[in-house]
Structure 1
Amino acid sequence: MEKFFFFLYSLFSFLFYILALPFLVLLSFKTKYKESLPSRFFLWHNKPFKPDGIWFHSCSFGEAKAIKPLVDRLPKAQLRMSTTTQTGLQVIESYTSQSRYLPFEPWLFGWLKPQKALVVMEAEFWYLLFALAQKRGAKTLLINARMSDRSFPKYQKIGWFYRHIFKHIDEVYAQTEVDRARLESLGARNVSVTGNIKLSYLPAVTRKIEKPSGLVVCGASTHEGEEGVILEAFAALKKEQKDAVLLLVPRHPERFDKVAQMAETFALQHAFTAQRYSQNAVLRSDIVLIDVLGELVNMYAVSDIVILGGAFEPIGGHNAAEAAQFGCKIISGKHYFNQKDIFEAIEGIAIVEAGNLSKRLLQYGVLKPTRIKSKSDLTPILESLERVL
């Protein structure tokens, strides 16, 4: 049965790839995909890894940063890193020159070389990735695994499919006991609970920034539809706190120009000053657009209040621990379903509806500084990997 499924899935992936080719060619001209898409779907400048290493796969910028405590404990010569996003690649390239975009599944038949282990972050359930890696000798691990309240019913509907995937995953390391139970119901074996890896390592300040004298508000990791809400809330605050400063940090770099235009227009309408940090790396305007990657933790270090994006729209939220390590007061929207366990590990986060953000920000005096209550244990994962070295 498993061989038959492997054949059918492989055939389907090849057919899907052929049918999608015209769309892939068109999408490859978009700025967001101009590097990742040709590499993933056409193997453009995407050579196979050297064999016999420890291969980590992470999807996004945040996940790529989160695995740093693991990769720092392993021999650099053994590291193989892959990702699916441009921002993710920028992170993993700092770990090793053996960093690549993960090819789309049909390409893996010729691209994938035997490795000692494959370590996949969170919810990257690529059937052929696990199946081929295992067939070619790799020990396969799924780490930081989670099943949110929102996504679990969807996984259950096609549980038969995930049971085939979990047949090729040797060990699973879940974030919580709830995640363990849900994963096991989908066929996961050898499941251990290690907590959230994103709490085991928090990025440190890379350089000291001069803090403005007034109240500093950071609109962090914002998405489409969130900057406008934050700007309006800041304008209300500014009426009471004349020296308040807003640091606006969009999540995705391809939106920097659009958000810059929005901020500049808003500033003109309210007689505020505005600047782009990439053009003047100081915090001397009412509104400062942080349009440089890798600066968010430095902004957290000088912020009094963090309005954490990704949760005022149904995105799923972002890692609040990075700001909580500095004791910042944090305000979040209600759509933090992908970060539920992290939020539960942090004391003091204020959850509000988008429409009530202005009112809550004006009450900043009663907000509590946040505190991280618990962290995670990477020891079982490291011990498992050390056994194959």
Structure 2
Amino acid sequence: MYFFYILVSILIYPLFLLALIPLSFKDKYSKLYQKFLPFKKHKIADIHFHFASYGEAVALGELIKYYKNKGFKILLTCSSKTGLMKAKEFDDNAFLLPYEPLLYLWLKPAKTLIVFEAELWLALLKIYKDFDKNPILLNARMKENSFKNYKKFSFYYT
């Protein structure tokens, strides 16, 4: 099933590229191209923090600073422009999480992945699993309706 998930993602990729053209003129989406055309590579890290947006970046701030002060190399990925702007305040090794099929080409897994988001990015988790690394899910809460929807696709997440 995972194969079909990635196949469908690859097939709709050109549609996302076409949608980028009009969206790129809106300030809110001005960084969106980085998700679909991730040209800049990240530095190798010890800990990879993934979070959704500005609020999660702020909430993780002290933890990120703690590990940086201990000498750990950090990779920060997020899902929004505001999250990216806040992440850049903590470390320059910060990026929008690329579109899932592109992760295989872009991501060099860290020793540890810490996910601070309610959304579970299948390819991100799969890559870390393929490298025998278990993610840490912080803030892994979700509404009952979201849980029911994830449960329908549990065969993807097992």
TM category (shorter chain) comes to: 0.7 to 0.9
Question: 1:86: Cα distance to partner?
Answer: 1.6
For residues 262-341 of structure 1, the aligned pairs below 5 Å read none
Partner of 1:59: 52
Q: Identity of paired residues, percent?
A: 35
Q: Are 2:147 and 1:155 equivalent residues in the alignment?
A: yes
The correspondence for 2:106, drawn from 111, 114, 117, is: 111
Q: Are 2:11 and 1:19 equivalent residues in the alignment?
A: no
Aligned pair count? 156
Q: Are 2:80 and 1:88 equivalent residues in the alignment?
A: no
Structure 1 residue ranges without an equivalent (≥5)? 168-389
CA displacement, residues 84-105 of structure 1 (integer Å, 9 cap, x when unaligned): 2121112111211211111111
More helix by share: 2
For residues 100-249 of structure 1, the aligned pairs below 5 Å read 100-148=95-143, 152-165=144-157, 167=158
Off by >6 Å, runs of 4+ in structure 1 = none
CA displacement, residues 221-256 of structure 1 (integer Å, 9 cap, x when unaligned): xxxxxxxxxxxxxxxxxxxxxxxxxxxxxxxxxxxx
Please identify the structure whose Cα radius of gyration is greater: 1
TM-score, normalised by the number of residues in structure 1: 0.38
**Are the equivalent residues in 2 in contact too, given 1:115–1:137 (CA < 8 A)?**
no
Structure 2: distance between partners of 1:145 and 1:157: 15
Letter in 1 for 2:108: K
**Are the equivalent residues in 1 in contact too, given 2:79–2:97 (CA < 8 A)?**
yes
Letter in 2 for 1:95: F
Residues 123, 56 of structure 1: alpha-carbon distance in 2 compared, 3 angstrom cutoff: same
Structure 2: distance between partners of 1:23 and 1:81: 26
CA displacement, residues 97-128 of structure 1 (integer Å, 9 cap, x when unaligned): 21111111111010010210111113121100
Letter in 2 for 1:41: F
Structure showing greater relative contact order (alpha-carbon pairs closer than 8 Å, 6 or more residues apart): 2
Structure 2: distance between partners of 1:38 and 1:154: 28
Question: 1:68: Cα distance to partner?
Answer: 1.5
Structure 2: distance between partners of 1:63 and 1:52: 20
TM-score, normalised by the number of residues in structure 2: 0.88
Partner of 1:34: 30
**Are the equivalent residues in 1 in contact too, given 2:78–2:96 (CA < 8 A)?**
yes
| Alpha-carbon RMSD | 1.9
Structure 2: distance between partners of 1:162 and 1:24: 31
Residues 64, 76 of structure 1: alpha-carbon distance in 2 compared, 3 angstrom cutoff: farther
